[in-house]
Chains A and B, each alone.
Chain A
Amino acid sequence: MQLITAIIKPFKLDDVRDALSEIGVTGITVTEVKGFGRQKGHTELYRGAEYIVDFLPKIKLETAVTNDIAERVVEAIVQSAATGKIGDGKVFVSKLEEVIRIRTGETGAQAI
């Protein structure tokens, strides 16, 4: 099992969600986050004085998937979240030791 974590542009969330549903991902968790990467921040203006917004709003998306579809999931996220411009985000893939469904107590791939 793999835990796939992606940081994406907020307006791409619907596209990514549709793409993941199509390939059979059954659940995702989404968080509104702020951060910076190569895009850095940007400056805004208030009453004639500039101020710097260091952290830009992004969406963090997490999904646990079985090994057989992990590659396709990554591919789907990269394709659906891309705009080609700076600030598109990143995808992190890590090994997942265990998953437990709280309601039934099922574990492993059964719980995904």
Chain B
Amino acid sequence: MENQIFELQYAIDTFYFLVCGALVMWMAAGFSLLESGLVRSKNTVEILTKNIALYAVACIMYMATGYALMYGGGWFLQGIEAFDLGEVLATSAENGFAGDSVYSPASDFFFQVVFVATAMSIVSGAVAERMKLWSFLGFAIVMTGFIYPMEGAWTWGSKDVFGMFNLGDLGFSDFAGSGIVHLAGAAAALAGVLLLGARKGKYGRNGQVIAIPGANLPLATLGTFILWMGWFGFNGGSVLKLADAGNAHSVAMVFLNTNAAAAAGLVGALLTARALFGKADLTMALNGALAGLVAITAEPSTPTALQASLFGLIAGVIVVFSIIGMDRLKIDDPVGAISVHGVIGLFGLMLVPITNGESSFTGQLAGAATIFIWVFGVSTVIWLALKAAVGIRVGEEEEYEGLDIGECGMEAYPEFTSST
């Protein structure tokens, strides 16, 4: 009877990983829509191609090298197909019913691989409307197969940073990846944006900021809703176990707090935008919801509902000022990804010690610095290499006419076509 309960627990926890992984996979759709909504319509096909292709590249590269670098095991997931019921039951008995979960390693890979894709999606929005498609995909190979797995190994993988120090021992804690996924994605994006420069027309002759309005706000809003929904898998799945009362409660708290932070983040950004501009700026509100989500991601299980809401609210306020500040600094980020994922990712990491006694502010700072320096440094090298080899920015004429025609040879909304 006990063995059958353990088998059932294995089945439930494996299933939980798979469902949460599927939810996170859907975030790729959210990013695609959000980004295509916030760029001009002449760049729609290119940004959609980029988004779905980067997802595919991430899946292949993480399978080939990433997972092995991060958690050990063979290249191309060698050996992941083995199943030994006796071993499963023995580990379950050893861990105990309420102990660490036992699940199929294949489900773990599936849950991890969609996080890599999320980190890469963050880059695509920031470099939109001017980066060469193939250079971007070249970078995606290195980011998902090497850069992300290395810092993932030092954090979730518990390995020492080049044998020097161990972030876990320093008191670093990042529940679902405010730093490991979001700050990392933003660091790679920042390196790319600094080398790319601003979109033509973003700054006037005297350096004043000129708005380049997004083409489709319904898409951007739908994309944000999808990201919000996918985030329940992102944070909820990161509890890593469902099938005992304690963990089931923890999962429920994570869902509750994730939702509360997003809601408060949206309200915070909406009110800030109203106060600053005199109008309810929808795109800022969308960024506010995402900021709330990123902020709570580092620790969604220990805050109370009120704390989670306050964290989200503050993140929503900060993100508006950050986006305006980035614009002033000539860091042209069409979708606000560096502010939402980078600035708020760091903010989220620093919130953890408030509610989680096992982490420390110095540990959080050390972790954030390690992730940022590693990802930003290596990304800069890769972007520079790509720039020297094939170039990273499209020509001025192509940028004016749109990357849809230049890179993909088609328009999102073709008119006056004829089959002959």
Contacts and interface: CB of A to CB of B under 8 A. Distances in A.
The answer to whether A and B interact is yes
Interface of A: 44-51
Nearest to B279: A45
Contacts of B320: 48
24 contacts: A45-B211, A45-B278, A45-B279, A45-B281, A46-B212, A46-B214, A46-B283, A47-B211, A47-B281, A47-B283, A47-B323, A47-B324, A47-B327, A48-B209, A48-B276, A48-B277, A48-B284, A48-B320, A48-B323, A48-B324, A49-B210, A49-B211, A50-B211, A51-B211
B281 A48 contact: yes
Interface in B247-295: 273, 276-279, 281, 283-284
A68 to B, nearest CB: 40
A46 B327 contact: no
Interface in B289-332: 320, 323-324, 327
B210 A51 contact: yes
B213 A48 contact: no
Interface string B32-46: 000000000000000
B284 A47 contact: yes
A44 B277 CA distance: 11
A46 B213 contact: yes
Interface of B: 209-214, 273, 276-279, 281, 283-284, 320, 323-324, 327, 336
Contacts of A48: 209, 273, 276-277, 281, 284, 320, 323-324, 327
A54 B311 CA distance: 42
Contacts of B324: 47-48
Interface centre among A45, A46, A50 (most CB of B within 10 A): A46
Contacts of B211: 44-47, 49-51
Contact of A45 (B210, B214, B277, B336): B277
A50 B213 CA distance: 10
B216 to A, nearest CB: 13
B120 to A, nearest CB: 24
Contacts of B214: 46
Contacts of A46: 211-214, 281, 283
B336 to A, nearest CB: 8
Contacts of A44: 211, 213
A46 B324 CA distance: 11
Contacts of B284: 47-48
Nearest to A47: B283
Contacts of A45: 211, 277-279, 281
A49 B212 CA distance: 9
Nearest to A49: B211
Given A46-B213, A47-B283, A48-B209, 16 more contacts: A44-B213, A45-B211, A45-B277, A45-B278, A45-B279, A46-B214, A46-B281, A47-B281, A47-B284, A47-B323, A48-B277, A48-B323, A48-B324, A49-B327, A51-B211, A51-B212
Nearest to B214: A46
